[in-house]
Chains A and B, each alone.
Chain A
Amino acid sequence: EIVLTQSPATLSLSPGERATLSCRASQSVSNFLAWYQQKPGQAPRLLIYDSSNRATGIPARFSGSGSGTDFTLTISSLEPEDFAVYFCQMRSNWPWTFGQGTKVEIK
């Protein structure tokens, strides 16, 4: 099973700042990596798939990059509604797995 490790566990930032989240895979997943956002009491929402493609309706301030084992989600300028937990997920091998999440909190 491929393990996805996200860092940091918590990111404390102010609105308007840039957020950089990391996801590292225990072995190569090519570009088969996605990012989800989850707010308290809500289901996850797909942000990015295939490492860098934005899902429908996702603002341009969200971008993804990386391939192989190292991936990054960047939020260029944090809006108040962006404070949430972010999970990465891979689909290169079964079982499809998720990272443990990074919480982006208001500083």
Chain B
Amino acid sequence: QVQLVQSGAEVKKPGASVKVSCKASGYTFSTYDINWVRQAPGQGLEWMGWMNPKSGNTGYAQKFQGRVTMTRNTSTSTAYMELSSLRSEDTAIYYCAKRRSLTEAGWFDPWGQGTLVTVSS
């Protein structure tokens, strides 16, 4: 079955960077975009951007432009999301999610289990 497995929780200091991984299995990794969505504690969901694993092309929400970098390693079917210049407001669960189908972008199915990133001095 299609599965996305993310790396473990991280604790970072303000100003540092964090890199979260998302390992895909059960399908051809290069075929479907990987998206990243975050959720602050007790809050709603916020889409951060997408990455095409085949080309490496990316698209980022303007809010995160200049701070986020999405990459991949096709040999290990793993996507990465790196967020820099961390501040306390970046404390959240970060999810990766696979594009649902080839015919349209923007629907996310399935999702990884989430990675809690805590930013604290």
Residues on A lying within 8 angstroms of B by beta carbon are: 32, 34, 36, 42-46, 49-50, 55-56, 87, 89, 91, 94-101
Contact = CB atoms under 8 A, between A and B. Distances in A.
A95 B63 contact: yes
A101 B43 CA distance: 9
Given A91-B104, A98-B45, A44 B111 contact: yes
A46 B44 contact: no
B59 A94 contact: yes
Chain B interface helix/strand/loop/mixed: mixed
B44 A96 contact: no
B110 interface: yes
Contact of A91 (B62, B105, B113): B105
Nearest to A48: B107
Contacts of B109: 45-46, 55-56
Interface string B90-121: 00000101001000111111111110000000
Interface in B20-66: 44-47, 59, 61-63
Contacts of A89: 45, 47, 108
B111 A98 contact: no
B106 A87 contact: no
Contact of A49 (B61, B100, B112): B100
Nearest to A97: B47
A34 B107 CA distance: 7
Contact of B111 (A45, A55, A91): A45
Contacts of A34: 106-107
Nearest 3 pairs of A and B residues by beta carbon: A91-B106, A43-B111, A46-B109
Given A43-B114, A50-B104, A96-B47, 17 more contacts: A34-B106, A34-B107, A43-B110, A43-B112, A44-B108, A46-B100, A46-B110, A87-B44, A89-B45, A91-B104, A91-B106, A97-B47, A98-B45, A98-B46, A98-B47, A100-B44, A101-B44
Which has the most chain B C-beta neighbours within 10 Å: A32, A46, A50, A95?
A95
Given A43-B112, A46-B109, A94 B44 contact: no
